[in-house]
Amino acid sequence: MSDEIVHFKHSQLQHGKSNDRVYLMKVDERDLPEVIQLAETLAEEHGYSKLFTKVPATLEHAFFAHGFIEEARVSGLFGGEQEGVFLSRFVDAQRGEEQYVDTVQDVLAAARAKPTVSFTDAVLPAGYSCQLLGPQDAEDMAALYKVVFESYPFPIHDPDYLRQTMDEDVIYHGIRHHGVLVAVSSSEMNVAQKHVEMTDFATHPDQRGAGLASFLLEEMEQDMRRRGIRTAFTIARAYSFGMNITFSKHGYRFTGTLVNNTQIFGQLESMNIWFKAL
């Protein structure tokens, strides 16, 4: 079941059993502290174990007063100038304990050991082509996501949902091999705040190891610069060597881990935050 979206005055929240959390997706300063109190009420009513948000650093003390802690901090996240913070409150203390500490540390060590590489002149092998994806590609995108992800925080297996996001400042890039879609990714823009989340990377299992995600990320960055976006960030699976290495090689900076934050492949996983000024 997909999470529920709740609109509260000028703010927006998302909650559901899948991620077992309340996510304050959009927080307007005019709604504080009432919107935090609403999140607390939703957590209590539904038994959620985590509250989570991403806000300008100027608002952090309102959340600290309600038991939130900082998990990551990104320079220039808002408007390219103001710091942003990722804040969480663990209703259940056990949710705040990382079960795979060694794995998280090993992934970060491997990623940080990789030197930054320029992908500006990267070229796809013969038979591959990269393109912007549109509504006509939604069926192919959903089919690929179904192959790659058994479960996901958002209904990306649904072509209609993908089409809807295209009308909400989400840009999709894809790579086709002899016409067949084999890799896809999305750029979730916040046009007003000039930041973008680089996310929803999926490569068909038969095509892994060819560097398709790196090529997509370079295309995404160039596209976002043309659109006036100032800061890019990603929320990468903390147990995945591949995606953390990809972002590190592209010059992204690690800034923190969101512990047991997101349900992927049927279980809650911790997520690493990486960011880069474009």
Q: Are 196 and 189 in contact (CB under 8 A)?
A: yes
pLDDT in tens, 166-184: 999 999 999 999 999 999 9
Strand partners, 263: 268
CB 3 within 8 A of CB 153: yes
Q: How far apart, in whole angstroms, are the C-alpha atoms of residue 4 and residue 25?
A: 12
Residues of the chain with pLDDT under 70: 1
**In this structure, are residues 201 and 213 in contact, taking their beta carbons and an 8 Å threshold?**
yes
Peptide bond just before 205 cis, omega within 30 deg: no
CA distance 232 to 214: 15
Give the span between the Cα atoms of 224 and 230, in whole angstroms.
8
Strand partners, 170: 188
Helix or strand (DSSP H, E) at 249: helix 241-249
Between CA 176 and CA 196 the distance in angstroms is: 24
Distance CA(71)–CA(64), nearest Å, equals 12
User: Hey, what long-range contacts does 27-30 have (CB within 8 A, 24 or more apart)?
Assistant: 27/53, 27/55, 27/59, 29/59
Query: What's the predicted TM-score (pTM) here?
Result: 0.94
**What are the distances in angstroms from CA 139 to CA 144, 162, 213, 261?**
9, 9, 20, 29
Whole-number pLDDT of residue 129: 97
What confidence score (pLDDT) does residue 232 get?
Answer: 98
Q: Which two tokens stand for residue 140?
A: 């192919």
Q: Residue 1's pLDDT is what? A: 56
Give me the pLDDT at residue 56, please. 97
Which tokens is 26 given? 């959009």
Q: Beta 69-78 vs 50-56: how paired, if at all?
A: unpaired
> To 5 degrees, how large is the angle CA 112–CA 276–CA 213?
70
- Could you give the domains of the chain? 4-96 (3.40.630.30), 101-277 (3.40.630.30)
Q: Which residue has the tokens 């939130």?
A: 68
